[in-house]
Structure 1
């Protein structure tokens, strides 16, 4: 564990200040962080932390999405913390594992987006909440991805198309809009 929960708390507070639209949600994440049961392990069935990547191309115009096998939806790469407290490291690791891309790096290590979503019951695992902390991960090398067992497909999509596609998952569309706005401020 390379990052302690107080670092995540500081990141959540900074994110809430930078994006007041996610302030209440950030407080929910902080409440989970303060829970006596370990929120970094998937055995905490009331809800637990996950880390995801808004995985963008080198030029920042496209994002890599995966058609998630279990959920049958197009989503960003990500996964369970499994005891790791550094959710940025989780996001980076999951992006690499789920894409096969080898030259990935965290954009700035700051939280990009938060999302709390319900995962339906599957087999013997009851339905539960994922408290997903998302970071920007940029690809700096080949865009030739490798489909893994967790995916039905992978695809590079124009960020603007994701933002404007009514069929996009709501949180994907929100991240796409957030990314486009951040690029306008930079450019």
Structure 2
């Protein structure tokens, strides 16, 4: 799947901006607790899906920094850390057309982020809810391949 990203990036110098109407790079955070037994998901208002935190790069070339920014904006969490600077997962998915924007692609770059589950979360206006859930519940809430894949990768890292 990562191979799909390179031709797109080469052909679209503005790929970090949502003004690139064909699609753009986005940055997501797969936020886990230290035990790797729970993940923080958001019930996304526009998509009406339980998904990982994340959003538009908004011109930020450092996608890890953009993912960390999105964690704070969407959950209020401040005690977070990247488990690694390396990419945890990638996904390319269609975003449906809305009033002001056409259907387009999100080329999503995802990082594994650790957070303290005792820190209170705040629900932003982009979400119906934000909640810590078990890995099994994450798959029950959203059985799309991308979520299943990240749960599987988390379990491997946790030694399950």
TM range (shorter): over 0.9
Equivalents in 2 of 1:148, 1:92: separation in Å?
15
1:36/1:48 CA distance change after superposition, 3 Å:
closer
Contact 1:103 1:141 in 2 (8 A): no
Indicate whether 1:73 and 2:43 are aligned.
Answer: no
Q: Select the residue among 127, 135, 147 that pairs with 1:151.
A: 127
Indicate whether 1:64 and 2:72 are aligned.
Answer: no
Consecutive unaligned residues of structure 2, counting only runs of 5 or more, are none
Per-residue CA distance 1:128-174 (angstroms, 9 max, x = gap) = 000000000110363311101000011111113324x3843321121
Equivalents in 1 of 2:32, 2:55: separation in Å?
17
Consecutive unaligned residues of structure 1, counting only runs of 5 or more, are 1-24
Q: Which residue of 2 aligns with 1:51?
A: 27
Q: Quick check: 168-177 or 101-110, which moved more?
A: 168-177
Map residues 1-187 of structure 1 onto 2, 5 A cutoff: 25-140=1-116, 142-163=118-139, 165=140, 167-184=142-159
Q: Which secondary structure does the structure 1 equivalent of 2:137 belong to? A: helix
Q: Which secondary structure does the structure 1 equivalent of 2:146 belong to? A: helix
Per-residue CA distance 1:30-77 (angstroms, 9 max, x = gap) = 112212431100010111100000001122210000000010000000
TM-score (norm 1): 0.80
